[in-house]
Amino acid sequence: MDAYYTTSSYQSVFFLVIEVLNDYARHERPSPTIQQLAARTGHSEEKILESLEFGSISPKSLLH
């Protein structure tokens, strides 16, 4: 993990993830995988998971 990630960078990634999730919901698509979230946001899977932890969303809650 990069020691230079800050709270604001996790928050930025978290909000990008929320935007992607909202886009999937608007188009009635199944929930994206962590890999798909990483591809759509341009961030690593690790950063996606860490930002979800920061934002208190369990990756399991993304599954339908």
Q: What is the pLDDT of residues 37-52, one digit of tens each?
A: 999 999 999 999 999 8
Coil vs helix vs strand at 27: coil
SS3 track for 28-52: CCCCCCHHHHHHHHCCCHHHHHHHH
Q: What is the pLDDT of residues 12-23, one digit of tens each?
A: 999 999 999 999
From CA 19, how far away is CA 57, in angstroms rounded? 14
Average model confidence (pLDDT) across the chain: 84
Residue 1: band (very low, low, confident or very high) from pLDDT cuts 50, 70, 90: very low
Q: Where are the domains of the chain?
A: 7-55
- Is a pLDDT exceeding 60 seen at residue 59? no
Residue 9: predicted pLDDT: 87
